[in-house]
Amino acid sequence: MLNEGRIDLLERAPLLKRLLKARAFQPAMMLATLLVFTLAILAGIAGTPAGSRNFGIVFVWIVWWALLIVVLVPFFGRLWCTICPIPAPGEWLQRRAIVRRGAARLWTRGLRWPRRLKNMWLQNFGFLAVALFSTIILTRPGVSAWLLLSFLLAGVLLSALYKNRVFCRYVCPVGGFIGLYSLVSPVELRVADPNVCADHKTKDCITGNEFGYGCPWMVFPGSLTRNAYCGLCFECLKTCPKNNIVLNLRPFGSDLTVAKERRLDEAYKAFIMLGCALLYSAVLLGPWGWLKDWANMDTLPHWALYAASFLSANLVLLPGLFGLSVWIGRSASGSGQPLRRLFVDYAYTLIPLGLAAWIAFSTGFVLVNGSYALTVLSDPFGWGWDLFGTAGMHWTPLGATIIPFLQVGVLTAGLMAALNTAYKIARQHGIPHRAAFVEALPVSGFALVVTVGFLRLYLG
């Protein structure tokens, strides 16, 4: 079906629809990733402390991270959430089943998640906490392993206390930015006709039926207008008796101009992701060795100063400078919109730029360090094994000559998308072309300065 520039992949590929409706599909994928996840934890705890020789470091923070940020999120949105192993044990305990449709009543205390926490703030602060210690997490297998194990245990604990996937929806630091950046993705799960959902009395996608569970992400597909909180579990595809669920291919960035659900917590997620990408690049790629030592906690006073600067840059400096640019645009254009609304609205222009920055950073990182994957595949614990004959391979950085071109291309595309989004958002404020251009101009300048900053770090 072709509808408003969208192509229904389920109609074009019936085999894909059969696969996604099969109850065994998601558990099989989750079991596979859970096996790798468990190996990463065990390698981190019992394997060599040398990060470049440890499966837990190389496969989680190089291979998985690059796959997630360069391929899965930009092109498939929340597809990683379909197969993520972290919520699996807790969800299977809730359902008391893995493949078959288990008992109608979930095995949980059924507590109510606090209303004031039904947002992205916990995920924002969780990501900041992980990012603050990232230099340590990325280089110390034991620390990385305990962090991964804590995610798994938190998922189980919250599943025991609350219904559905509270951990994924409100707590997971990774799920937060995947949800935000999935707004750019060209894939969306929606309903073919919202009126069918509105007229349908039993709402099987919420309550569940003999074919599947009610949405574990606590989302009503009939009102979905953005990708942010749909975890692509496809339970609604299984339970919908009206055959009203579609999986569309659409233009990139379609959700960025959906105005009605913009929020301050999501706006701050955009600042935090952009700020962390900038600071990661400065710490890990910049010429300031002392900065990397501070981030790596060479002394407690140095780290404390680094932590204060890191948090201030993400929570105060970057949003403050952005807010100043928004205020200038508002004053120059004579816009009558409240400053808070403009601040939140224009923050969505930073989503494609932030995603591009992470892709540029991760592309260079994986091409330079990806060869470690072959080594640890044969010797995951660093114990001298050689399972596939690749343990003796030497570190071989790839693409040294093309990495700068890739980074410039990706960042330029991200900047263009940001500028285009800024203008579209300005026009949503009900002002004519010239005023919209003036209102969006300072924000566009902000995006340009940030892009130049990234290029300065990458190109030297």
Query: pLDDT per residue over 403-442, tens digit each?
Result: 999 999 999 999 999 999 999 999 999 999 999 999 999 9
Strand arrangement of the beta sheet that strand 2-3 belongs to: 2-3, 6-8, 245-249, 187-191
Residue 105 pLDDT grade (very low, low, confident, very high; cuts 50, 70, 90): confident
Prediction pTM value = 0.95
* pLDDT value at residue 69: 97
Which residue, 126, 169, 185, is CA-closest to 352?
A: 185
Query: pLDDT per residue over 123-150, tens digit each?
Result: 999 999 999 999 999 999 999 999 999 9
For 191, the 3-state DSSP assignment is: strand
Tokens of 184: 């750019």
Q: Measured between alpha carbons, how far is 410 from 370 in angstroms, rounded to an integer?
A: 20
Q: Measured between alpha carbons, how far is 33 from 185 in angstroms, rounded to an integer?
A: 23
For 120, the 3-state DSSP assignment is: coil
Q: Judge whether residue 1 has pLDDT over 60.
A: no
Question: Parallel, antiparallel, or unpaired for β 6-8 and 245-249?
Answer: antiparallel
Q: Judge whether residue 35 has pLDDT over 80.
A: yes
Cβ–Cβ < 8 Å for 9, 249: yes
Q: Alpha carbon of 55 to those of 30, 32, 136, 276: distances in Å?
A: 19, 16, 16, 25
Query: pLDDT per residue over 175-195, tens digit each?
Result: 999 999 999 999 999 999 999
List, as one string, the DSSP characters of 31-97: HHHHHHHHHHHHHHHHS-S-GGG-HHHHIIIIIIHHIIIIIIHHHHTTHHHHH-STTHHHHHHHHT-
DSSP type of residue 164: S
Query: pLDDT per residue over 41-99, tens digit each?
Result: 999 999 999 999 999 999 999 999 999 999 999 999 999 999 999 999 999 999 999 99
Residue 267 pLDDT grade (very low, low, confident, very high; cuts 50, 70, 90): very high
Cβ–Cβ < 8 Å for 384, 337: no
* pLDDT value at residue 400: 86
